[in-house]
């Protein structure tokens, strides 16, 4: 359903991704693990063209793009198919929760206002924020702000949602409510790629776990395989450190 081929990316002389290949099936929840600086966030950002890979191809369903030759229209098409949930939420501070969710529907998808409002309200209800439609980000907890971020991604009805360390900026007592929402929407069969350090979540929710180090995929497999019987020394060391 989603196929990444030979994705490479350098920042100056620092090669951050080295010819990454990854296949994600429809409805799968893929968790990407790895030490800090291993390229996880960069890979996620490449999928949404927030970073431009130097090389490589992506296929999402029947849509294909070669990053080397992609033009504006291709990038627009790619972004219609994927939505990102950011570590620091990235909400507009001067817009309410509802307006934040509506923004992409009005600007990118050009939906009529009534329709955008209806869909956005529905998504905020889904993440448990029916009572906060008119609240500004400063009036919301970090967990609530991140749930607005998730509602915003869901409202776009993408083929895949990309989560970039969605709970790492949260106080520990707020992590659970955000993971619960992600777990709930995973149960609805939405394809997700999640960069996280939450091992419990990875074990419970992932169908597929990818371990990255030094800009390459060192090992990947089912959670029971990767956590239970890691094959590679680097994976074993990493799992030992975070246990």
Interface residues toward ligand ADP, by CB under 6 A:
11, 14, 16, 34, 36-42
Residue whose CB is less far from ligand ADP, 22 or 124: 22
Task: Find the shortest distance in angstroms from Cβ 113 to ligand ADP.
Answer: 36
Q: Give me the torsion for CA of 225, 229, 230, 236, rounded to 10°.
A: 140
Q: What gap in Å lies between CA 126 and CA 169, rounded to an integer? A: 22
Q: What gap in Å lies between CA 174 and CA 192, rounded to an integer? A: 21
Residue whose CB is less far from ligand ADP, 41 or 191: 41
Residue whose CB is less far from ligand ADP, 36 or 69: 36
Closest CA to 85 of 115, 57, 44: 44
Task: Find the shortest distance in angstroms from Cβ 77 to ligand ADP.
Answer: 24
Task: Find the shortest distance in angstroms from Cβ 119 to ligand ADP.
Answer: 31
Task: Find the shortest distance in angstroms from Cβ 111 to ligand ADP.
Answer: 32
Task: Find the shortest distance in angstroms from Cβ 213 to ligand ADP.
Answer: 9
Instruction: Please provide residue 81's backbone torsions phi and psi, each rounded to the nearest 5 degrees.
Output: -100, -10
Task: Find the shortest distance in angstroms from Cβ 19 to ligand ADP.
Answer: 15
Q: What gap in Å lies between CA 122 and CA 28, rounded to an integer? A: 24
Closest CA to 52 of 35, 28, 69: 69
Residue whose CB is less far from ligand ADP, 58 or 124: 58
Q: What distances in angstroms separate CA 207 from CA 18, 38, 98, 118, 153, one per listed residue?
A: 24, 21, 32, 32, 21
Q: What gap in Å lies between CA 132 and CA 195, rounded to an integer? A: 27
Residue whose CB is less far from ligand ADP, 42 or 167: 42
Residue whose CB is less far from ligand ADP, 46 or 151: 46
Q: What would the DSSP string read from start to end of 53-69?
A: -SEEEEEETTEEEETTT
Q: What gap in Å lies between CA 64 and CA 83, rounded to an integer? A: 17
Decide if 103 contacts 90 (C-beta within 8 A).
no
Task: Find the shortest distance in angstroms from Cβ 110 to ligand ADP.
Answer: 30
Residue whose CB is less far from ligand ADP, 11 or 240: 11
């Amino acid at each position: 359903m989603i196929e990444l081929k030979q994705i490479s990316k350098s920042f100056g002389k620092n090669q951050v991704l080295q010819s990454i290949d990854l296949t994600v099936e429809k409805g799968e929840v893929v968790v990407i693990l790895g030490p800090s600086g291993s390229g996880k966030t960069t890979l996620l950002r490449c999928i949404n063209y927030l970073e431009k890979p130097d090389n490589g191809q992506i296929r999402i369903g029947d849509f294909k793009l070669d990053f080397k030759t992609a033009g504006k229209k291709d990038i627009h098409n790619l972004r219609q198919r994927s939505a990102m949930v950011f570590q620091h939420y990235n909400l507009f501070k001067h817009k309410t929760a509802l307006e934040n969710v509506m923004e992409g529907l009005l600007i990118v998808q050009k939906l009529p206002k009534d329709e955008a409002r209806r869909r956005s309200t529905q998504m905020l209800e889904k993440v448990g924020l029916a009572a906060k439609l008119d609240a500004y980000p400063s009036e919301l907890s970090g967990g609530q702000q991140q749930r607005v971020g998730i509602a915003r991604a869901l409202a776009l009805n993408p083929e895949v949602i990309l989560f970039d360390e969605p709970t790492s900026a949260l106080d520990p007592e707020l992590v659970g409510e955000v993971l619960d929402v992600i777990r709930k929407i995973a149960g609805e069969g939405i394809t997700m790629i999640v960069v996280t350090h939450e091992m419990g979540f990875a074990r419970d929710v992932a169908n597929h776990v990818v371990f990255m180090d030094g800009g390459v995929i060192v090992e990947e497999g089912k959670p029971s395989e990767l956590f239970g019987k890691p094959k590679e020394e680097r994976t074993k060391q990493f799992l030992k450190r975070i246990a």
